[in-house]
Amino acid sequence: AADNPVVVSLFGESGCPDTTGFIFGPLKEAEEAVGEILRVSWTPFGNAYYITKECGGVPAPPGCSSSRTCRYNSTVRDCYFQHCGLGGHPRLADCYGPGVVHCQHGAAECFANRLEACVKVRDPAGSWPIARCIEKAFYDGTLRNGHSSHQEVTKVAQGCGAPEAALSCATSDSAGDAAVEQMAKETPPHPGVPYILVNGVVLENEKQLIQAVCKAYQGPKPAGCSGTPLPSLASVRTAVRA
């Protein structure tokens, strides 16, 4: 691995088709082509939001699996992250509870986000392979939003190598809540997911990930960079710093 790898910060949510499509499309291609010069930082919260007095929102009905059936509201999301996400201001008194977390695709997504958050807070450097493995189960249909139980998500996570401490965290009110809160605080305002930063710069076209990583890397370019046209300046813009 490179001494100063390019950090690909990925903000998304468990089982979201757009998120898993990116993970097992452009990101998988980049990890295979130039994996030695990149590091993935995965933050599992995505478009979720806590229900607050200021921004509103309603609980997701049991068994829901889509924005429509879960009564998801993107206006509430935008308000929430303006106040409660990374760099949010002014903070709301109830940014992180007692209101419940509303996930875009329902309970399985919420629990998988929570479990992956628990894995990350316990081992930030080693969490991505476990999270990617869990997301693969959503991608291939082993897990399904609106259908899979917490027990089924847990069984997949065990098979992916999630440590027992992370599994216990996910079912603990205090530890699990704290892990989810940390992910919410680390998620910047965003128009949708997947939301991707390459060394802090927004990636506008996810299909240009390899080119963006190669351009950002300061050391000798690996073979995977050869033949990839560099993205134009118009395709990237600097992320708003908190």
Give per-residue pLDDT as tens, 106-116.
999 999 999 99
pLDDT tens-digit map of 167-188? 999 999 999 999 999 999 999 9
d(CA 124, CA 134): 16
228 against 97, higher pLDDT: 97
Token digits for 180? Answer: 């989810």
Place of tokens 């609980």: 59
Cβ neighbours of residue 27 closer than 8 Å, sequence gap 6 or more? 8, 10, 40, 209
Q: What is the DSSP string of 176-196?
A: HHHHHHHHHHHPPP-SSSSEE
Average pLDDT estimate for 187-194: 97
* pLDDT at residue 238 in the model: 42
For the cut 70, the answer to whether the pLDDT of residue 241 exceeds it is no
Average pLDDT estimate for 68-82: 97
For the cut 90, the answer to whether the pLDDT of residue 228 exceeds it is no
Whether a cis peptide bond, with omega within 30° of 0, leads into 231 is no
Radius of gyration of the chain (CA): 18
For the cut 50, the answer to whether the pLDDT of residue 240 exceeds it is no
* pLDDT at residue 2 in the model: 75
Average pLDDT estimate for 10-26: 97
pTM strictly above 0.85: yes
* pLDDT at residue 227 in the model: 65
Which helix or strand (DSSP H or E) is residue 128 part of? helix 127-139
